[in-house]
Amino acid sequence: MAALRAAKQALRKEIKGRVAAVSDQEKLRQSRVVSLKLFSHPKYLSSQRVAVFLNMHDEVRTHDILQDIFKRGKACFIPRYFTQSSHMDMLRLRDMEEVKALPLTSWNIQQPADDDSDREEALATGGLDLILMPGLGFDKKGNRLGRGKGFYDTYLERCSTHPKGKPYTIALAFKEQLCAEVPVGEHDILIDEVLYEDEE
Protein backbone atom coordinates (compact mmCIF):
# COMPACT_ATOMS: atom_id res chain seq x y z
CA MET A 1 0.00 0.00 0.00
CA ALA A 2 2.82 2.39 0.94
CA ALA A 3 4.65 1.45 -2.26
CA LEU A 4 1.55 2.23 -4.33
CA ARG A 5 1.13 5.57 -2.59
CA ALA A 6 4.79 6.43 -3.21
CA ALA A 7 4.53 5.44 -6.88
CA LYS A 8 1.44 7.60 -7.30
CA GLN A 9 3.09 10.56 -5.57
CA ALA A 10 6.17 10.30 -7.79
CA LEU A 11 4.02 10.13 -10.92
CA ARG A 12 1.87 13.06 -9.79
CA LYS A 13 4.99 15.16 -9.38
CA GLU A 14 6.32 14.15 -12.80
CA ILE A 15 3.04 14.92 -14.60
CA LYS A 16 2.58 18.23 -12.77
CA GLY A 17 6.02 19.21 -14.03
CA ARG A 18 5.19 18.19 -17.60
CA VAL A 19 1.87 20.09 -17.61
CA ALA A 20 3.41 23.16 -15.95
CA ALA A 21 5.85 23.37 -18.86
CA VAL A 22 2.99 23.67 -21.38
CA SER A 23 2.15 27.27 -22.33
CA ASP A 24 -1.33 28.67 -21.66
CA GLN A 25 -1.79 29.07 -25.39
CA GLU A 26 -0.98 25.41 -26.00
CA LYS A 27 -3.29 24.32 -23.16
CA LEU A 28 -6.08 26.30 -24.80
CA ARG A 29 -5.30 24.85 -28.23
CA GLN A 30 -5.35 21.25 -26.95
CA SER A 31 -8.52 21.99 -24.97
CA ARG A 32 -10.24 23.08 -28.20
CA VAL A 33 -9.16 19.90 -29.97
CA VAL A 34 -10.47 17.76 -27.10
CA SER A 35 -13.73 19.73 -26.94
CA LEU A 36 -14.34 19.26 -30.68
CA LYS A 37 -13.70 15.53 -30.34
CA LEU A 38 -16.23 15.43 -27.54
CA PHE A 39 -18.86 17.37 -29.50
CA SER A 40 -18.95 14.67 -32.19
CA HIS A 41 -18.71 11.75 -29.74
CA PRO A 42 -21.76 9.44 -29.94
CA LYS A 43 -21.92 9.05 -26.14
CA TYR A 44 -21.94 12.82 -25.67
CA LEU A 45 -24.53 13.36 -28.39
CA SER A 46 -26.88 10.77 -26.90
CA SER A 47 -26.45 11.90 -23.27
CA GLN A 48 -29.09 14.08 -21.68
CA ARG A 49 -27.61 14.42 -18.20
CA VAL A 50 -23.94 15.34 -18.22
CA ALA A 51 -21.55 16.09 -15.34
CA VAL A 52 -18.55 18.27 -16.13
CA PHE A 53 -15.79 19.75 -13.96
CA LEU A 54 -14.86 23.42 -13.81
CA ASN A 55 -11.19 23.24 -14.69
CA MET A 56 -8.21 24.18 -12.58
CA HIS A 57 -5.20 25.76 -14.28
CA ASP A 58 -3.55 22.41 -15.07
CA GLU A 59 -6.68 20.81 -16.56
CA VAL A 60 -8.38 20.84 -19.95
CA ARG A 61 -10.46 24.03 -20.23
CA THR A 62 -14.15 23.20 -19.99
CA HIS A 63 -15.71 26.61 -20.73
CA ASP A 64 -16.66 25.70 -24.33
CA ILE A 65 -18.05 22.36 -23.16
CA LEU A 66 -20.29 24.05 -20.59
CA GLN A 67 -21.59 26.41 -23.27
CA ASP A 68 -22.25 23.51 -25.62
CA ILE A 69 -24.14 21.52 -22.97
CA PHE A 70 -26.45 24.48 -22.33
CA LYS A 71 -26.82 25.21 -26.06
CA ARG A 72 -27.94 21.66 -26.75
CA GLY A 73 -30.41 21.75 -23.88
CA LYS A 74 -28.76 18.98 -21.88
CA ALA A 75 -28.94 18.97 -18.08
CA CYS A 76 -25.56 20.16 -16.75
CA PHE A 77 -24.15 19.07 -13.38
CA ILE A 78 -20.93 20.18 -11.74
CA PRO A 79 -19.09 18.85 -8.69
CA ARG A 80 -19.28 20.29 -5.22
CA TYR A 81 -16.40 18.85 -3.17
CA PHE A 82 -16.50 18.58 0.59
CA THR A 83 -12.86 19.12 1.48
CA GLN A 84 -13.07 17.44 4.90
CA SER A 85 -14.00 14.11 3.32
CA SER A 86 -14.02 12.34 -0.02
CA HIS A 87 -17.70 13.22 -0.49
CA MET A 88 -18.79 15.02 -3.62
CA ASP A 89 -22.19 15.89 -5.04
CA MET A 90 -23.06 16.75 -8.63
CA LEU A 91 -25.31 19.80 -8.65
CA ARG A 92 -27.31 21.20 -11.54
CA LEU A 93 -26.56 24.51 -13.22
CA ARG A 94 -29.05 26.13 -15.59
CA ASP A 95 -26.89 28.50 -17.66
CA MET A 96 -23.54 30.27 -17.99
CA GLU A 97 -24.77 33.11 -15.76
CA GLU A 98 -25.11 30.64 -12.89
CA VAL A 99 -21.60 29.35 -13.61
CA LYS A 100 -20.15 32.87 -13.46
CA ALA A 101 -21.93 33.60 -10.17
CA LEU A 102 -20.46 30.60 -8.31
CA PRO A 103 -18.21 31.39 -5.32
CA LEU A 104 -14.52 30.45 -5.31
CA THR A 105 -13.23 27.80 -2.89
CA SER A 106 -9.90 27.80 -1.08
CA TRP A 107 -8.62 25.62 -3.96
CA ASN A 108 -9.43 28.47 -6.27
CA ILE A 109 -12.13 26.58 -8.11
CA GLN A 110 -15.71 27.65 -8.42
CA GLN A 111 -18.41 25.49 -6.95
CA PRO A 112 -21.84 25.90 -5.34
CA ALA A 113 -21.60 27.04 -1.72
CA ASP A 114 -21.90 24.42 1.05
CA ASP A 115 -25.24 25.86 2.14
CA ASP A 116 -26.61 26.04 -1.40
CA SER A 117 -29.40 23.52 -0.98
CA ASP A 118 -31.72 24.60 -3.80
CA ARG A 119 -29.94 22.82 -6.60
CA GLU A 120 -30.89 19.45 -7.98
CA GLU A 121 -28.37 16.72 -7.06
CA ALA A 122 -27.91 14.25 -9.91
CA LEU A 123 -28.25 11.05 -7.89
CA ALA A 124 -31.25 12.33 -5.95
CA THR A 125 -33.10 12.60 -9.26
CA GLY A 126 -32.51 10.95 -12.63
CA GLY A 127 -28.86 9.97 -12.28
CA LEU A 128 -26.26 10.76 -14.95
CA ASP A 129 -25.63 9.54 -18.49
CA LEU A 130 -22.08 10.81 -18.79
CA ILE A 131 -19.36 12.11 -16.47
CA LEU A 132 -16.50 14.12 -17.94
CA MET A 133 -13.61 13.40 -15.61
CA PRO A 134 -10.64 15.46 -14.56
CA GLY A 135 -7.43 13.89 -13.33
CA LEU A 136 -3.70 14.37 -13.24
CA GLY A 137 -2.66 11.39 -15.32
CA PHE A 138 -4.16 8.62 -17.45
CA ASP A 139 -3.06 5.59 -19.37
CA LYS A 140 -4.69 4.15 -22.46
CA LYS A 141 -6.22 1.29 -20.50
CA GLY A 142 -8.46 3.72 -18.63
CA ASN A 143 -6.51 3.90 -15.38
CA ARG A 144 -6.70 7.36 -13.85
CA LEU A 145 -4.42 9.15 -11.43
CA GLY A 146 -6.44 11.66 -9.42
CA ARG A 147 -5.25 14.16 -6.87
CA GLY A 148 -5.42 11.62 -4.08
CA LYS A 149 -8.70 12.57 -2.39
CA GLY A 150 -10.84 9.89 -4.02
CA PHE A 151 -13.80 12.15 -4.84
CA TYR A 152 -14.59 10.60 -8.21
CA ASP A 153 -13.97 6.99 -7.18
CA THR A 154 -16.32 7.46 -4.23
CA TYR A 155 -18.92 9.15 -6.42
CA LEU A 156 -18.80 6.41 -9.06
CA GLU A 157 -19.35 3.86 -6.29
CA ARG A 158 -22.51 5.76 -5.36
CA CYS A 159 -23.58 5.93 -9.02
CA SER A 160 -23.43 2.17 -9.29
CA THR A 161 -26.23 1.87 -6.72
CA HIS A 162 -28.48 4.33 -8.59
CA PRO A 163 -31.33 2.71 -10.59
CA LYS A 164 -29.83 4.19 -13.76
CA GLY A 165 -26.50 2.48 -13.05
CA LYS A 166 -22.98 3.75 -13.62
CA PRO A 167 -22.71 6.54 -16.19
CA TYR A 168 -20.26 6.41 -19.08
CA THR A 169 -17.01 8.13 -18.11
CA ILE A 170 -14.75 10.13 -20.40
CA ALA A 171 -11.58 11.76 -19.12
CA LEU A 172 -10.42 14.97 -20.77
CA ALA A 173 -6.63 15.17 -20.99
CA PHE A 174 -3.70 17.07 -22.36
CA LYS A 175 -1.38 14.69 -24.18
CA GLU A 176 1.27 15.55 -21.56
CA GLN A 177 -0.98 13.80 -19.00
CA LEU A 178 -0.79 10.43 -20.72
CA CYS A 179 1.44 7.81 -19.11
CA ALA A 180 2.58 4.37 -20.16
CA GLU A 181 0.98 2.98 -17.02
CA VAL A 182 -0.80 4.46 -14.04
CA PRO A 183 -0.31 2.54 -10.77
CA VAL A 184 -3.71 1.65 -9.31
CA GLY A 185 -5.17 0.07 -6.20
CA GLU A 186 -8.37 -1.86 -5.61
CA HIS A 187 -10.47 1.27 -5.00
CA ASP A 188 -9.45 2.95 -8.25
CA ILE A 189 -12.25 2.75 -10.78
CA LEU A 190 -11.44 2.38 -14.46
CA ILE A 191 -12.72 5.07 -16.79
CA ASP A 192 -14.30 4.12 -20.10
CA GLU A 193 -12.29 6.40 -22.34
CA VAL A 194 -9.65 9.15 -22.41
CA LEU A 195 -10.01 11.97 -24.93
CA TYR A 196 -6.83 13.77 -25.93
CA GLU A 197 -5.16 15.08 -29.04
CA ASP A 198 -3.56 12.08 -30.67
CA GLU A 199 -0.98 12.34 -33.39
CA GLU A 200 -3.21 11.52 -36.33
Cα(61)–Cα(53) distance, integer angstroms? 9
Tell whether 14 is in a known binding site: no
Tell whether 172 is in a known binding site: no
Cα(95)–Cα(92) distance, integer angstroms? 10
Tell whether 5 is in a known binding site: no
Tell whether 149 is in a known binding site: yes
Give the containing element (helix H, strand E) for 51: strand 49-51
Tell whether 151 is in a known binding site: yes
Tell whether 137 is in a known binding site: no
Tell whether 29 is in a known binding site: no
Tell whether 77 is in a known binding site: no
Q: State whether residue 98 is helix, strand or coil.
A: helix
Tell whether 10 is in a known binding site: yes
Tell whether 72 is in a known binding site: no
Tell whether 16 is in a known binding site: no
Tell whether 54 is in a known binding site: yes
Cα(45)–Cα(64) distance, integer angstroms? 15
Tell whether 146 is in a known binding site: yes
Report yes or no: 60 and 173 within 8 Å, Cβ to Cβ: yes
| 173: phi then psi, degrees, rounded to nearest 5 | -140, 150
Tell whether 11 is in a known binding site: yes
Cite the annotated binding site for substrate by residue number: 54, 59
Binding residues: 8-12, 54, 59, 144-152
> Residues forming the annotated binding site for ATP?
8-12, 144-152
